[in-house]
Amino acid sequence: MTAVTSLAHEPRWPASVAAAEAEQDRLRPLADLDDPGPVSAGLVAGLDVGYRDDEEVVGAVVVLDAATLEVVDQATARQRASFPYVPGLFAFRELPPLLAALDELTVRPELLMCDGYGVAHPRRFGLACHLGVLTGLPAVGVAKTAFVGTHEDPPPERGSWSEILLDGEVAGRALRTRDGVKPVFVSQGHRIGLENACAHVLRLSPAYRVPEPIRQADRLSRLP
């Protein structure tokens, strides 16, 4: 790693579903969900993965200046998919290309915004938690569809939200980033509180439903 140097924890790549689930259980206690995290961040990285011929993945990272939304740095990593898509084990498919892309950055982001879930996950350890624990950086998960738990439809105004309940506990929020548009699903990943996580997501979504860092990463991951 260059700017996102020395991983806090070495990644392990399980070869079976059972081993992958065990790895999530092993890392879950390492996710810090009590740290309220940064109230404001200068550099925020959006991460996403694009797919090609079903066997190729493209990890993309775009770092934005949170104040101006200006692109400060970006990187991609193209490789063969090393794990199949299994709901709940999403991270093992997308982590390799994302870590490789992060390795190419020349700046160190203060917050990672991931396309997927954090603790709103069957084993409470989604992609955002995994990425946060491995890098040691604050991380938040932003998903476009509901995955686990229950939630009410939040009021139609931008900024309104409702709780995502999982086993009677708050696992995240359905947050409306634009008037009258479907909400996004925000959950903690690592070293950031739900309140601050939602504040960042809302602030970084001035024009579209999906936060700008993730939109940029999504666009980059589709480029030829």
Task: Determine, following the binding rule CB under 7 A, whether residue 46 of this chain makes contact with DNA.
Answer: no
Task: Determine, following the binding rule CB under 7 A, whether residue 13 of this chain makes contact with DNA.
Answer: no
- Shortest Cβ distance from residue 163 to DNA (Å)? 17
Among 44, 102, 105, 127, binds DNA (CB under 7 A): 127
Task: Determine, following the binding rule CB under 7 A, whether residue 145 of this chain makes contact with DNA.
Answer: yes
Task: Please state, in angstroms and rounded to a whole number, the distance separating the CA atoms of residues 143 and 193.
Answer: 17
Task: Determine, following the binding rule CB under 7 A, whether residue 49 of this chain makes contact with DNA.
Answer: yes
Task: Determine, following the binding rule CB under 7 A, whether residue 48 of this chain makes contact with DNA.
Answer: yes
Task: Determine, following the binding rule CB under 7 A, whether residue 222 of this chain makes contact with DNA.
Answer: yes
Of 97 and 109, which has the nearer Cβ to DNA?
97
* Three-state secondary structure readout of the chain: CCCCCCCCCCCCCCCCHHHHHHHHHHHHHHCCCCCCCCCCCCEEEEEEEEECCCCEEEEEEEEEECCCCEEEEEEEEEEECCCCCCCCCHHHHHHHHHHHHHCCCCCCCCEEEEECCCCCCCCCCCHHHHHHHHHCCCEEEEECCCCCCECCCCCCCCCCEEEEEECCEEEEEEECCCCCCCCEEEEEEECCCHHHHHHHHHHCCCCCCCCHHHHHHHHHHHCC
What track of x and - describes contact with DNA for positions 91 through 120 (by CB under 7 A)? x-----------------------xxx---
- Shortest Cβ distance from residue 85 to DNA (Å)? 4
Within 147-176, which residues bind DNA (CB under 7 A)?
A: 147
Task: Determine, following the binding rule CB under 7 A, whether residue 208 of this chain makes contact with DNA.
Answer: no
Which residues carry a binding-site annotation for Mg(2+)? 48, 115
Of 106 and 192, which has the nearer Cβ to DNA?
192
Q: What is the dihedral of CA 44, 186, 145, 151, to 10 degrees?
A: -170
Among 37, 59, 126, 193, binds DNA (CB under 7 A): 126
Q: Enumerate binding residues for DNA (CB under 7 A).
A: 48-51, 85, 87-91, 115-117, 121, 126-128, 141, 143-147, 221-222
